[in-house]
C-alpha cells in the first residue's frame, strides 16, 4: 500500500529503500498551481540515524510492514535486554544500543511494546510517562526561594533528574520518557 506525501504526519512510519522510518518533524509548503513540497526529518527504526528528506508533488511512499507486540521487560545483562510476550511466552533479546536512553525508564516487570520489522525487534516503545521511586534526594536549604527551587534526585533505575524541593527520598514521581523531565509526584 502506498502513502502520499501528505500522509507523512509526525509519528507516521513508512519504508524508504526497504528501511522503516518514523517521521520526527513535518513541514509542508504549497507551491503555485496546486503543487506542494513536504520537508520531513525522519529517524531510521533500524539504526536510529536521523535524516532530512524532501518529497515533491504526487510522489508515492511505501508503507512499512511494522507490527507491535505487548511485552514484559524481564531483565538485562548489560549488553542485552530480555522481553517476553505474555500471551505466547516467547522471549526476545534486544541489544542495549536499541533500547538506548530508554533503559533509564524501565524496570523489571514493566509492560511495554516492541516494534517488529521483518520478524525482528527494531524499537522499544516506552509509555509516555513512567512512575519511578526516588532512591536519593538532596536536602534543600530552608529559605532559599529566590528562584524556583529544584534539586537532583536519583531514581530506582539509576538515572538522575531535576525535581522540585518538596520531593523526598521514598517518593514516587512521574517522569516524561521523551524529555526525562519531572512531571508530578504520584500519590500512593
Segment 14-38 mean pLDDT: 82
What CATH code would you report for 66-125?
2.40.50.140
**pLDDT one-digit tens code per residue, 77-107:** 988 999 999 899 999 998 888 888 888 999 9
Whether pLDDT at 146 is above 70: no
Tell me where in the chain the CATH 2.40.50.140 domain(s) lie.
Answer: 66-125, 129-186
CATH superfamily, domain 129-186, is: Nucleic acid-binding proteins (2.40.50.140)
Predicted local confidence at residue 108, as pLDDT: 92
Separation between Cα atoms, residue 53 and residue 17, nearest integer Å:
13
Predicted local confidence at residue 140, as pLDDT: 73
Listed residue (48, 151, 166) closest to 97, CA to CA: 48
The x, y and z cell numbers of residue 68, run together, are 507491535
Listed residue (60, 56, 61, 62) closest to 28, CA to CA: 56
**pLDDT one-digit tens code per residue, 28-82:** 887 777 678 888 898 887 777 888 988 887 778 888 888 889 999 999 998 899 9
Q: Does domain 2-63 have CATH number 2.30.30.30?
A: yes
Listed residue (108, 128, 107) closest to 183, CA to CA: 128
Largest CA distance in the chain: 65
Angle (CA) 83-184-25 rounded to 5° is: 65
Amino acid at each position: 500500500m502506498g502513502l502520499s506525501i501528505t500522509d507523512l504526519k509526525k509519528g507516521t512510519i513508512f519504508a524508504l529503500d526497504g528501511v522503516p522510518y518514523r517521521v520526527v518533524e513535518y513541514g509542508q509548503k504549497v507551491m503555485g498551481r496546486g503543487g506542494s513540497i513536504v520537508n520531513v526529518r525522519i529517524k531510521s527504526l533500524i539504526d536510529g540515524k536521523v535524516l532530512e528528506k524532501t518529497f515533491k508533488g504526487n510522489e508515492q511512499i511505501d508503507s512499512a510492514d511494522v507490527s507491535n507486540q505487548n511485552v514484559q521487560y524481564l531483565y538485562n545483562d548489560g549488553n542485552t535486554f530480555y522481553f517476553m510476550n505474555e500471551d505466547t511466552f516467547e522471549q526476545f533479546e534486544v541489544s542495549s544500543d536499541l533500547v538506548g536512553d530508554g533503559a533509564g525508564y524501565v524496570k523489571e516487570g514493566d509492560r511495554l511494546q516492541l516494534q517488529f520489522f521483518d520478524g525482528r525487534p527494531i524499537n522499544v516503545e516506552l509509555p509516555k510517562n513512567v512512575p519511578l521511586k526516588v532512591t536519593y534526594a538532596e536536602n534543600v536549604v530552608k529559605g532559599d526561594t529566590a528562584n524556583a527551587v529544584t534539586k537532583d534526585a536519583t531514581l530506582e533505575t539509576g538515572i538522575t533528574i531535576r525535581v522540585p524541593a518538596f520531593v523526598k527520598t521514598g517518593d514516587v514521581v512521574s517522569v516524561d520518557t521523551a524529555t526525562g523531565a519531572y512531571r508530578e509526584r504520584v500519590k500512593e
